[in-house]
Amino acid sequence: MQAEAAGTDAGRAEARPLIVLDKVVKRYGTHTVLSGIDLEVHAGNVMAIIGPSGSGKSTLLRCINYLEPPSSGTIMLDGIRLEAGRATSRKDLALLRRSVGMVFQSFNLFPHMSVLRNVSLAQERVAGRSRKEADERSMQLLSRVGLADKAHQYPLRCSGGQQQRVAIARALALDPKVMLFDEPTSSLDPELGLEVLAVMRELADDGMTMIVVTHEMRFAENVSDTVLVMADGIIVEQGPSAEVMRNPRQERTKRFLRAVN
Ligand code: ADP
Ligand code: MG
């Protein structure tokens, strides 16, 4: 009996998604931007979110790490459960934020600090690492994104693609359980975007759990496991990426894909 129960538990742990959103609603005043989003992402999965401008993609990402508290609904991340309308403990909020790395369209690096310092700072302030530990970890990560030789440069001496790779290294430095990307290549020239996409593809291959808002349809099709299509604050369609991208079922998805291709 006991063994059986243990077996069942192990099975459930395996199947439990890393991230669950349950009926997440976000309103600004009377404007409903997200109308009840249900979402599950399993560890190691890469989810691409596509859809027209203004459909709520950025707001959804910002709700996942509570940069924007949802108006209602629940967010669960690896055992942390935050429910809108209920008092949120600072500990849970801090834990959630630590678990989520975020990369934006604009890189938001500190211009007056070296690349290395940009990657090390939060490790000292948030993760309590010593300067030496933080710098060592930063150098590993800068190597991983192909920028070890830029460690002592200032960000503005780096190309946009290099700056975005620094931002990725900075997010990875806090050992997040999931990485959220909000159109990370949309401010970059195409060839610089490619070097950022290559780093993201490696992360995906290494098993990082990722949610990527993107207008790069090839990334959605070739790198992500699942694609989620948003319009007007709802999920119009979601499924395995090849299916959604090549054989969409919903008229709104077809229309969107025609418009961007
Ligand atoms: P997307 O990323 O898909 O382009 P957004 O999530 O940025 O869409 O925005 C969705 C809608 O929410 C838009 O109509 C936008 O104007 C509105 N919105 C986003 N942020 C705010 C805010 N802080 N205050 C009011 N409205 C907002
Ligand atoms: Mg957006």
User: 75-113, pLDDT tens digit by residue?
Assistant: 999 989 999 988 888 889 888 989 999 999 999 999 999
ipTM: 0.98
Nearest CA to ligand 1 atom 24: 28
Is 7 a residue whose pLDDT tops 80? no
Nearest CA to ligand 1 atom 23: 28
Distance CA 120, CA 117 (A): 5
pLDDT band at 14; cut points 50, 70, 90:
low
Q: How far is the CA of 132 from the centre of ligand 1 (A)?
A: 41
* Token output for 36: 């009840």
Distance CA 167, CA 109 (A): 7
Q: How many CB atoms lie within 10 A of CB 198?
A: 14
Is 1 a residue whose pLDDT tops 90? no
Q: How many CB atoms lie within 10 A of CB 100?
A: 23
From the alpha carbon of 68, which atom of ligand 1 is closest?
23
From the alpha carbon of 59, which atom of ligand 1 is closest?
6
Q: How far is the CA of 133 from the centre of ligand 2 (A)?
A: 35
Nearest CA to ligand 1 atom 21: 28
Q: How far is the CA of 27 from the centre of ligand 1 (A)?
A: 10
In the structure, ligand 2 is a single-atom ion and the residues with CB under 5 Å from it are: 57-58
Q: Are 50 and 255 in contact (CB under 8 A)?
A: no
Model pLDDT, residue 5: 43
Distance CA 49, CA 191 (A): 22
Model pLDDT, residue 13: 47
Pocket of ligand 1 (CB under 6 A): 28, 31, 33, 53-59
Question: Nearest 5°: phi and psi at 71?
Answer: -75, -35
- Please choose from 27, 59, 183 the residue to mutate so as to test ligand 1's pocket, defined by most ligand atoms within 8 A of CB: 59
Q: How many CB atoms lie within 10 A of CB 4?
A: 8
